[in-house]
Structure 1
Amino acid sequence: MTDAYVLDYVRTPRGKASPKGSLHAHSALDLVVHLQDALVERTGLDVETVDDVVLGCASQVDEQGANIARTAALLAGWGDSAPGVTINRFCASGVDAVGQTAARVRADDLQLAVAGGVESVSRVPMFVDRGPLWTDHDVVRQIGSVHMGIAADLNATMDGFTRAELDAYGLETQLKAAQARADGAFGRSLVPVGTLDHDELVRPDTTLEGLAALPPAFAELGAGGQDAIALGAYQGVSSIDHLHTVGTSPAMADAAALLLIGSAAAAERAGLPPRARIVGSATTSVNPVVMLTAGQSAVEQVIARAGLTSADIDVFEFAEAFSALCLRFRRDLDAGPDRMNPNGGTMAMGHAFGATGAILVGSCVDELERRGGRYGVAAVSGAAGLGVAVLVERIAS
């Protein structure tokens, strides 16, 4: 079987998902083409050798519709050889794009491809596709679908986490992200867009006192009927404690990320030394009400398939879908702060749905190189109880 390797990785900064955000003037298509140009410039890539462009995108309507991967390939001048496909695994779309592309390389379906993701939440807002999972009340009640924030509070209640514990994690990730920027941790892969050369959502002045003063973010939503749906579909608890706030929830962002993935033969032809081997990936699903534990399940599965344990993993890049899920992950996998999201995570730097997973895989490779580690895992939990994880192994130089 052919191995699949990460040859290079680029990403945009994460901009605030707001009309006032620094990336709001740039469409999702703009962001992807900008990275395609950067990838060619820094690697000397012959675009005629690219077999496919695989992008994750969660809201595939309006500016993000009509197969944005193919549109970007054409607009970037990559000719007719890169077909382009856009996939939707909700928030896990980007990491799934990487996993699927690597699997196709291993199956000799591809030699060289670009995988990644994009989301401009400020221009194409969450839930704008108005799918039945969000808008059809009969469907919602039949399958027990609830808002992610309700699922987060349900998980916090199930595990008995306190508000203070959630806030402490929220502070930790902000301080890590601020330190990472000061240390230049993202310098190798970050491609500025206009004047934005950093993740603009990080709040280095965050304090525990400030977090403690924030009101619960999802109590009103729960009282409006969401708690009843959750408790009706999941009888594990009798009530839900609403503990998460905007400070312990992922911030919405605009961003894109691309990874160049190929076989050893393709890497040699391109004159690019492989940076990491993509060992494997796992895709899982869980109860759609509990929802946000699937990313952890995927991590456990991909590690076990490789014959490894949590102790073998040097870096965990785990999408911060609310504090409670991060605390559970840390507890269950014994993943301390030095190994889990060492440079902060999506609660601090922002969550750009389709792009986040690709950013995490690339960040994992970057961090393994920074610390000389061997194995890293990137994982994301998505809506409807979906989760995807990718395991990588650094190639020692």
Structure 2
Amino acid sequence: MKTVYIYDAVRTPRGRGKADGKLHTVRPVHLAKTVLESIQQRNNLDTSLVNDVILGCVTQVGEQGGCIAKSAALYAGYADTTSGFTLNRFCGSGLEAINQGASSIMSGYFDMIVAGGVEAMSRIPIGSDGGAWMIDPDVATKTHFVPQGISADLIATLGGYSRTDVDSFAVESQKKATLAWEEKRFQKSIIPVIDQNGMTILDRDEHIRPGTTVESLSGLKPSFL
């Protein structure tokens, strides 16, 4: 069995997945292209040596349809011989893409993979692809489908987690993210998103809110009612 090595790891900044998010004008294929181009340029990579580009993507419709992994690879100037496929394991899609890539190298099937994920929720909202759980009551009932909001409330109730408990956890997450940016821990991995005129659209994570407190979070309405 082969040993697998990660040679580089980059990403675009995270934008807010809303209509007014900083990345709402940027097509998901452009975001993927930005990362793929960076991988090639940073490593002087001969893309003809890349066996496959694997991208995780949950909502594969519209701008994210048509095997975005392959179209993004071609858009980024990768060799025509580089394959591409897109997979969906919901929230774990990007990680699953990396796992699939690593497995194919370990088995000896491939030698070099570029793997990651892409999702532009400000342009392709969650649920846009429908699915049996969302549109077929019989399937939802017989498979005991529970919406995310209800399941989160159930877990909190069974586990004894209060609103203050989960808000405190969120505050700690914000503190750690803020500190990581202040200490420039993302400096080597963040690739700014640039428009066609060379202007920077976003060069740091938009969702980080320094100064977040339990008190400020307590004033927010619940996401699910």
What corresponds to 1:71 in structure 2?
71
Residue identity in the other structure for 1:193? V
Q: Aligned with 1:134: secondary structure?
A: helix
Q: In the TM superposition, what are the counterparts of 1:235-254 in structure 2 within 5 Å?
A: none
Indicate conservation of the 8 Å contact 2:56/2:93, yes or no: yes
Q: Aligned with 2:8: secondary structure?
A: strand
CA separation in 1, counterparts of 2:90 and 2:179?
A: 30
Identity %: 43
How much does 1:170 deviate?
1.2
What corresponds to 1:86 in structure 2?
86
What corresponds to 2:35 in structure 1?
35
CA shift digits 1:14-49 (9 cap, x unpaired): 011122211111111001111111111111000110
Q: Aligned with 1:190: secondary structure?
A: coil
CA separation in 1, counterparts of 2:68 and 2:221?
A: 38
Residue identity in the other structure for 2:103? A
How much does 1:8 deviate?
0.5
> Structure 1 or 2: larger strand share?
1
CA shift digits 1:299-327 (9 cap, x unpaired): xxxxxxxxxxxxxxxxxxxxxxxxxxxxx
Structure 2 stretches lacking a partner, 5+ long: 195-199
Indicate conservation of the 8 Å contact 2:175/2:210, yes or no: yes
CA separation in 1, counterparts of 2:213 and 2:36?
A: 39
* 2:174 counterpart of 1:189: no
Q: In the TM superposition, what are the counterparts of 1:55-204 in structure 2 within 5 Å?
A: 55-194=55-194, 195=200, 196-204=202-210
RMSD of equivalent CA atoms: 1.1
Q: TM-score, normalised on structure 1?
A: 0.54
What corresponds to 2:197 in structure 1?
none
Q: Aligned with 1:18: secondary structure?
A: coil
How many residues in Structure 1 have an aligned counterpart in Structure 2?
219
Q: In the TM superposition, what are the counterparts of 1:199-218 in structure 2 within 5 Å?
A: 199-218=205-224
Q: Aligned with 2:129: secondary structure?
A: coil
Indicate conservation of the 8 Å contact 2:37/2:77, yes or no: no
Residue identity in the other structure for 2:60? Q
Residue identity in the other structure for 1:40? Q
CA separation in 1, counterparts of 2:177 and 2:119?
A: 21
How much does 1:150 deviate?
1.4
* 2:57 counterpart of 1:51: no
How much does 1:217 deviate?
2.8
Residue identity in the other structure for 1:148? Q
Structure 1 stretches lacking a partner, 5+ long: 221-397
CA separation in 1, counterparts of 2:172 and 2:216?
A: 13
What corresponds to 1:391 in structure 2?
none
How much does 1:212 deviate?
2.0
